[in-house]
Amino acid sequence: MLRRTFLVYVLLTSFLVAPFSAANTVSGSNGVVSSRSQIASDVGVEILKQGGNAVDAAVAVGFALAVTYPSAGNIGGGGFMVIRLDDGTVVTQDHREKAPGSAFPDMFLDDAGNVDRRKSLYSAQAAGVPGSVAGLLDALEKYGTMTRQQVIAPAIKLAEEGFPLNEDLAGDFERVMNSMRDYPASMAVFSNNGQAWQVGDIWVQKDLAETLKRISAEGRDGFYKGKTAELLANEMIRLEGMITLEDLANYQPVWRDPIKGSYRGYDIWSMPPPSSGGALVVQMLNMLEAYDVKSMGWGSAEVIHLMVEAQRRAYADRAEHMGDPDFYPVPLAMLTDKEYAKTRFLDFNPEQASRSEDIGAGSWPLESLETTHFSVMDKNGVSVAVTTTLNLGYGNRIVVPGAGFLLNNEMDDFSAKPNEPNAYGLLGDEANKIEPGKRMLSSMTPTIVTRDGQPVLVTGSPGGSTIINTVFQVILNVLDHEMSIEDAVASPRIHHQWQPDMVRIEPGALLEGAEEKLTSMGHRELAPMGYGLGDANSILLRDGVMHGSSDPRSVGGASAF
């Protein structure tokens, strides 16, 4: 009780330092949705009220986010989906973007052999072939119960009739407006005739509405063929991009076997490669399972040290072994094996920090923090975790003229050059080099936790390399520290990723005296930061009631009935 009281005190007083948005936690017995947009969450619950299942609702939320949260919600990007069906089966879908057919390893190198970072981030060549539309529609066709017309209708209405801009969106649009001035179609959407949009303005997206109508009427052909595809391909030609009509027509999502692990009697289900997140979460939980995390206490030096050492080893393995499994032999059985985790942790010293330079070898890329995650659960236990992105916020800032949607800049998630730092100062290697048709490595980690076949937790997060550790800590908060979903999501977090050898710490993440003890253990750099580790919109089923919480670090919302 003392620890719990202290945690609540930390959270409340921390808000005064760096205020969170108002936490939004709801409960229901029929269905719950938690996302980065209250409007989108309400759309999902309305679909559930109409008799749809969680897959129907997730698809509706996905399309709605393309309208209401354009910096990361998208139809011009891609992502991953984990689904628990009503019979307990868990399936995963990869709708990650792919490199165009004309892509090649050195495409972002200048004449001197150096990476042209602007080209890899803010050009038409930065765009990978989008996967979101194909993924959402394929999931609906396989596991939904409603028509695409029904689930896309709310997004069409939002785009066509508009909705009032809140302070979050209006401010964000003003922030990025200058970076879009070279693209008239982008300025037509994200500025008000060249001026900043204001809070309360009704934001209408007519071109996007027409694109959504074509998808509604024609299915995937309404995006990957016909007018929308031609508009996209024509913009590629105009801006010397690489995506062709053939690339679009050939895109297919992939259904992959889920990563499955276990932790203290719970089953952990998550994404396999090209997402690295599922394997790393399972590996870190395997490392911690032998230790009494609960008795160590949330925020103590002992539990932070244990977590950091697990993170250090797992992220080093990510560097060495991860890539697109269609192009690179990823040793998943080894990485998720409990005996391997024990071996990996043999040199763990509970009194002394390791040095990252002594742990493993390799290097790895990182995608942007600007991703989004949403979670859905219905009364029959059907559960969906979806993480989706354009890479950087607003992708490459290019809106397709006449189509109204932004293009991604996911090509920067490849290694543009072995051992050359990417936009975030991190390195890449051969396993993630650019190749035609290849999917770029990701940290996205949509995850579902079950016990005895029944759903317990649906979670995930944006945040680039921090995604994996955000999901890891939400799981620990629920399973070890027995928190409510509100506290599990809101609790301050820490992040370590092997290289650079530093521990990033949100305010309030350490109990009193823990920082001094960690320093004495040899943790060389403890780096305080603001509240920037994740946006873990999650759902917890406890005692027969579904509880959904949007992460108070961002302006989101949960909805239930």
Residues 6+ apart with CB under 8 A from 364: 276, 315, 318, 319, 322, 426, 427, 428, 429, 432, 441
Q: Nearest to residue 74, comparing CAs of 300, 394, 546, 457?
A: 394
What secondary structure letter does DSSP report for 433?
B
Q: Nearest to residue 554, comparing CAs of 225, 243, 166?
A: 166
**Structural element, H or E, at residue 149:** helix 148-161
Q: Tell me the C-alpha distance between 353 and 363, whole Å.
A: 21
What secondary structure letter does DSSP report for 32?
E
Q: Tell me the C-alpha distance between 10 and 3, whole Å.
A: 10
CA 218 from chain centre, in angstroms, equals 28
For residues 410 and 127, is the Cβ–Cβ distance under 8 A?
A: yes
Q: Which of 371, 372, 447, 466 is catalytic?
A: 371
Question: Residue 147 catalytic?
Answer: no
User: CA angle at residue 326 from 323 to 328, to 5 degrees?
Assistant: 45
Phi, then psi, of 446 in degrees rounded to 5: -60, 130
Torsion of CA 341, 449, 293, 338, to 10 degrees: -20
Helix, strand, coil tally for the chain in percent (to 5): 40, 20, 40
Active site residues: 371
